[in-house]
Amino acid sequence: MPTTVPCPICDSPVVWGPDAKFRPFCSERCRQIDLGAWANGDYTIPVQTSEQDDDWQDTCPQQ
């Protein structure tokens, strides 16, 4: 009986083995979604990132 883990994106069971090319994701699509989520800042890293963003907006002239 194969070990399965839930895909972090869509919760589909992913068979954990040499055939699971995209583990821990179920597919290339979910892997790309995860990469995109990081790039878009949907995942928050608990390190002063929002403060830095505010500072940047305050000091950047709007033109």
Q: Can you give the binding site for Zn ion, defined by CB under 5 A?
A: 7, 9-10, 12, 26, 30
Q: Between 10 and 15, name the residue whose CB sits nearer to Zn ion.
A: 10
Of the two residues 11 and 53, which places its CB atom closer to Zn ion in the complex?
Answer: 11
As a whole number of Å, the end-to-end CA separation of the chain is 61
Nearest distance in Å: CB 20, Zn ion: 11
Question: Min. distance of Cβ 4 from Zn ion in angstroms?
Answer: 12
Query: Using omega within 30 degrees of 0 as the cis cutoff, is the peptide bond preceding 13 cis?
Result: no
Specify the DSSP element, H or E, that contains 13: strand 13-15
